[in-house]
Amino acid sequence: RVNLEGSSSIVTGGASGIGEATARQLAEAGSKVVIADLNEERGSQIAKEIGGVFAKCDVTKTEDADAAVATACELGPLRVCVNSAGLGLPARTIDRNNEPMDIKGFDFVIQVNLVGTFNVLSRAAAAMAKTDVMDTDGSRGVIVNLASCAAFDGQIGQASYSASKAGVAGMTLPIARDLSAVGIRVNTVAPGLIDTPIYGEGEHAEAFKAHLGQSVLFPKRLGRGEELAFTVMECITNPYLNAEVIRMDGGIRMP
**Active-site residue set:** 161
Shortest CB 79 distance to ligand NAD, Å? 21
Residue type for position 157:
G
User: For 117-143, b where at least 16 C-beta lie within 10 A, e where not — what string?
Assistant: bbbbbbbbbebbeebeebeeeebbbbb
| Nearer Cβ to ligand NAD (127/146) | 146
Least Å distance, CB 84 to ligand NAD, is 4
Task: Find the shortest distance in angstroms from Cβ 73 to ligand NAD.
Answer: 19
The smaller minimum CB distance to ligand NAD, of residues 124 and 134, is found at 124
- Select 116 or 183, whichever has its Cβ closest to ligand NAD: 116
Give contact residues for ligand NAD (rule: CB under 6 A): 12-13, 15-19, 37-39, 57-60, 84-87, 112, 116, 146, 148, 191, 193-194, 196-198
244 vs 188: CA distance, rounded Å: 6
Cβ neighbors of 85 (< 8 A, separation 6 or more) are 12, 13, 19, 36, 37, 38, 59, 112, 116, 117, 120
The DSSP secondary-structure symbol of 132 reads: P
- Within 150-224, where are the H helices? 159-170, 172-180, 203-209
Which of 48, 126, 118 minimizes the C-alpha distance to 86?
118
CB of 194 to ligand NAD, least distance (A): 4
Q: Give residues with Cβ within 8 angstroms of 17, minimum separation 6.
A: 84, 194, 196, 197, 198, 225
Backbone angles phi, psi at 4, to 5 degrees: -95, 0
Closest distance between ligand NAD and the C-beta of residue 53, in Å?
15
Residue closer to ligand NAD, measured from CB, 77 or 154: 154
In the complex with ligand NAD, the residue whose CB is nearer, 131 or 224, is: 224
Note the Cα 182 to chain centre separation in Å. Answer: 22
